[in-house]
Structure 1
């Protein structure tokens, strides 16, 4: 599903091959309480969250093409925000794909810089941050 989500944005075969290593989950990831899969009979999306002290990081957030525009990404972000807040995080960072940056901005993130891509040498990604203390509380739904 992560590969189909990334490929949806029109990346070529060379890019997808270079990104393959980053688009993996380990068996330990599936044992974590900080990985959630949005599933309505078929997996539609997933989010993996890291939390260290007051900082949370969206490590992975992918929505299957058939789930795009249907609230799957929003539900995953709401889960991430709620989970991070419950763990005491005050900020959340996201290394965003450039095509996903507008989505994260709608979720309350702002670009604070750029970071090197793990997969593609010379490519940089928007580094986005959400101040979890500024967002309106309530209205989050669990999945």
Structure 2
């Protein structure tokens, strides 16, 4: 149980919300910005009943992903957060690979996401392409990169 990614549990709502807030704040956003986007980052019971997976290292939560199936063979990456204390350890890639693997198992052809501008480079390294801009759900007039990743045909997954 050194390192693993597993299904999230309902009782982890608050811990995952706090992890998301720490991760978002690590980009240097001010208190006003964090207050404005807080509601969007809260992991509600409804969200937790969806497709949420937690990365663990030595029993500690180090990150999570939240995915949402959409029409047309798409999966939306709603959240991908890594605790700032564990950034640079490969957890972002592991979580991304897990998202790809889960999407493949559901027969989906692509991942789509509204990226934080600071994370656009990470998603580009993962193979996602910026295909447009979308309005932020919490900050008026803030535009976010809309990104798309097309799953390769017959990709073999190493993420059980």
Same fold (TM > 0.5): yes
Structure with bigger helix share is 2
Q: Does structure 1 residue 24 correspond to structure 2 residue 59?
A: no
SS of 1:43's equivalent?
A: strand
Q: Match for 2:95 among 65, 72, 76? A: 76
Q: Which runs of 4+ in 1 moved over 4 A?
A: none
**CA RMSD for the aligned pairs?**
1.4
Deviations 1:106-126 (A, max 9, x none): 111000000000010000000
Number of aligned residues: 140
Unaligned runs of 5+ in 2: 1-18
State the TM-score, normalizing by the size of structure 2.
0.83
Unaligned runs of 5+ in 1: none
State the TM-score, normalizing by the size of structure 1.
0.92
Aligned mates of 2:89, 2:115 — CA distance in 1: 20
Deviations 1:31-54 (A, max 9, x none): 33x210101121110100011240
Aligned mates of 1:140, 1:51 — CA distance in 2: 21
